[in-house]
Amino acid sequence: MRSSRQQQKSANANGRFPPSPIPSYKYHVNAVKSLLPEGASHRNLNPWFLGDMKTALNIDTLKGKHAGDTKSLHHNPGPGFLSAFSFRDEITSCPERLDLDRRALTEFPHLDGFDRLRLLNLQHNNISKMQPLKHLQNLVILDLYGNQIFDMCGLSSLKSLRVLLLGNNRIQRICDMDGLGKLDALDLRNNQISEIENLSALSCLRSLNLSGNRIRRVDNLQGLNSLIELDLRNNTISLVTDVENLPRLQRLFLSHNSISSLDDLGEC
């Protein structure tokens, strides 16, 4: 592993590396393979996420009926507010998947009664604040990519969460991670984060993306004993420490920073 790590550091220094993964739960299937329905592991996994679960609900099926008009979906008249119960008549059982991407939502939808929900997609809305999510105890994937979120508070109650996608928001501080001990992938790219902190409880985390932030130094990585990939491209980093204490790290991306030397990485 050490030889491949050395090659990776060299590749990073020269700016040659694979492109960042597409910011969607559909491309984090490896993180949740063990959670697929029995007998599904031998199939192409993407279609499973794209809608062939019998109990899944895809909001796209409702768009034709409402012809783009979301008024009939509003439980309250406030703009951008959506209650899941507003369209519950469209389904016959509590869904395990809910897609509400690109719905111009400004508030987190009320999902009381959806305790079986495992995948919640809220990509590309205008949500600015999290809501208490303690009733979503079976949620495995939460995709909030491309919103206006500035505060992460409200996440720690999601004890089953494996994939959390919060890229392209307005988050300034990493917090409320203590209850996410099962988290496997965390995407915080393109936010306003200036410090790596509050990650020590994420002992199962394997992929961490902090590219496109305002981070100046790499530290506070203790506890990330399962981390395999760390993406820190496009920050303002000048100092790298703690990386040698990541026993399973295989891929480290550091290009487009202010680092003058990689000597401090040693033989990690």
Amino acid at the residue 157: S
Segments forming the whole domain that contains residue 161: 1-7+94-268
CB 127 within 8 A of CB 148: yes
**HSE-up (13 A, CA, CB side) for residue 31:** 30
For 57-77, what is each residue's pLDDT tens digit? 343 333 333 323 333 233 333
Residue 25 lies in a domain: no
Residue 258 lies in a domain: yes
d(CA 182, CA 161): 6
What is the predicted pLDDT for the residue at 260? 80
List the CATH number of the domain containing 259. Answer: 3.80.10.10
Give the chain's domain count: 1
Residue 39 lies in a domain: no
Residue 134 lies in a domain: yes
Return contacts of 127-131, CB within 8 angstroms, 24+ apart. 128/170, 130/154, 130/155, 131/107
Residue 210 lies in a domain: yes
| DSSP assigned state of 20 | P
Has this prediction a pTM greater than 0.75?
Answer: no
Distances in Å between the Cα of 75 and the Cα atoms of 25, 71, 72, 81, 261 are 27, 9, 8, 7, 56
CB 215 within 8 A of CB 236: yes
For 106-119, what is each residue's pLDDT tens digit? 999 888 888 899 99
For 135-184, what is each residue's pLDDT tens digit? 999 999 999 999 999 999 999 999 999 999 999 999 999 999 999 999 99
What is the predicted pLDDT for the residue at 208? 98
